Structure 1
Amino acid sequence: MARHPDGGTRTFIEQKRRAQLIDVTIAMVAEHGYAGTSLSRIAGGAGITKAAVLYHFPTKDAVVAAAYQHVLTALVTRVAAAVEAAPATDGPAAYVRTMIAHLHEHPEHTRMLTEALTSTETQDQGSSGRWHALAQIVAAARAARGLDEHADLRTAAIIVGGAIDALVGERLRDPAYDTITAAEELVGMIERTLLT
């Protein structure tokens, strides 16, 4: 059983309801944006009352934060597993391909991340941790290839992260945009500029 913030434990049914509310919140934010998602809309999507939502989450921001954390954890877990499974020389490619593939497969996650980062208190949770992790992956790939340490891995990682964001953002604007092919183009650019 999971623990309540007040020290008690959640029943299996409470855990399932919270998971449902997180899924509904992701869908609502993806469809209506943060501003267009209310506790009433979340309750309606879950087929319960607003009071029932408030039993599990004290505020809209709390349920949105839980949904954001769920989406972020799913993305980070998948990307980390792919990078860990790849040889160090291929870590940056695994990072790019897996991140873009995950967001391609889950466009509602892309919208949830974007909305949460621009509409709530989560802005400071991603940027430095993201570029730092990517810089370490690039550094490990360079070392495994016998290359000297790159002078500015921070800037390189920020540029690569920005490119990923731009590709994924383009798919949000144009669902026909092929981010999987674009990911391969980005991997090629990384190979040519950072790993040779």
Structure 2
Amino acid sequence: MRSENKPTGQRSFIEEARRTQIIASAIEVLAESGWAGASLANIAKHAGISKGVISYHFAGKDELMEEVVDQVYAQIAEYVLAKMEGEKSATELLRTHVLAVAEHMRGNRNRLKAIGEIFHNLRGPDGGARYGPQTNEEIYQALELVYKLGQDTGEFRPFDRRVMAVTHSAAVDAMFTYWVVIPGHDLDAHARELADLLERAVK
């Protein structure tokens, strides 16, 4: 049985380190060469390993790409949740979410470029996009909790929380898409304006 089938807790330190190395190389190759250039052979060359080592740890390119997305999103969540910890009001939580995710990604442009390539190119078994609104449910639910808190405490007006969560998530995605394409764009200023806009929308 190949190691990628083992639960994380059963992998050795060396196996985890190798998987992390492969994922990091996949991110860099995707960012530099795009989807078409991100073959397993090119990723292996970047990592300084054989293609067979990647095949030992991952069933194929699709599984590796899914691991890239999972890792990037896990790192975003860890950073943002740490920033939100201790915030009391829904308004503070709302603003902190937008500002913190921008702050984190400002130093991780290649990760944004990499997952953008994956989102636009990776297909599911039915031929449709592997990622999209159908895979954002956890994000929508987490944002809905913030909006529910605001409504319960009277900070926020009545509104459809799902509509606001979808709009919030889409606006953050659009902010990053624009920043990746326009490198000189002020991401922090954009995040502040977006936080102001969302706050005004819910008060």
TM-score normalized with structure 2 length:
0.84
Within the candidate set 183, 191, 194, 2:199 is matched to 191
CA–CA distance in 2 between the matches of 1:143 and 1:45?
Answer: 51
State the AA in 1 paired with 2:140.
W
Quote the residue 2:46 is aligned against.
45
Per the TM alignment, residue 148 of structure 1 is displaced from its structure 2 partner at its CA by 6.0
Deviation readout 1:17-67 (Å, 9 max, x if unpaired):
111001111111122222320000011001111112212112111211111
**Aligned counterparts of 1:46 and 1:22: Cα–Cα separation in 2:** 9
1:40-189 matched pairs, under 5 angstroms? 40-89=41-90, 90-120=92-122, 121=124, 122-123=130-131, 126-144=135-153, 146-147=154-155, 150-189=158-197
Aligned residue type for 2:200: R
Query: Contact between 1:75 and 1:99, CA under 8 Å: does it hold in 2?
Result: yes
Q: Indicate conservation of the 8 Å contact 1:91/1:141, yes or no.
A: no
CA distance in 2, matches of 1:84, 1:117: 30
Q: Could you list the per-position Cα deviations for residues 79-118 of structure 1 after superposition, in whole angstroms to 9, with x for gaps in the alignment?
A: 2222233223311101111112122221122122222223
CA–CA distance in structure 2, aligned partners of residues 147 and 27 of structure 1: 43
Instruction: In structure 1, list runs of 5 or more residues that go unmatched.
Output: none
Contact kept, 8 Å, 2:27 with 2:114, in 1: the verdict is: yes
Q: Shift of the alpha carbon at 1:149? A: 5.5
Q: Give the RMSD, CA atoms, in angstroms.
A: 2.2
In structure 2, relative to structure 1, the CA distance for the partners of 1:134 and 1:60 (3 Å cut) is: same
Please name the residue that 2:14 is paired with: 13
Question: Which 4+ residue blocks in structure 1 deviate beyond 4 angstroms?
Answer: 6-9
Paired with 1:34 and 1:28, the residues of 2 have a C-alpha distance of 9
Q: Aligned letter for 2:152?
A: A
Paired residue secondary structure (1:177)? coil
| Aligned twin of 2:127 | none
| Number of residue pairs matched by the alignment | 192
Any conservation in 2 of the 1:22–1:66 contact (CA below 8 Å)?
yes
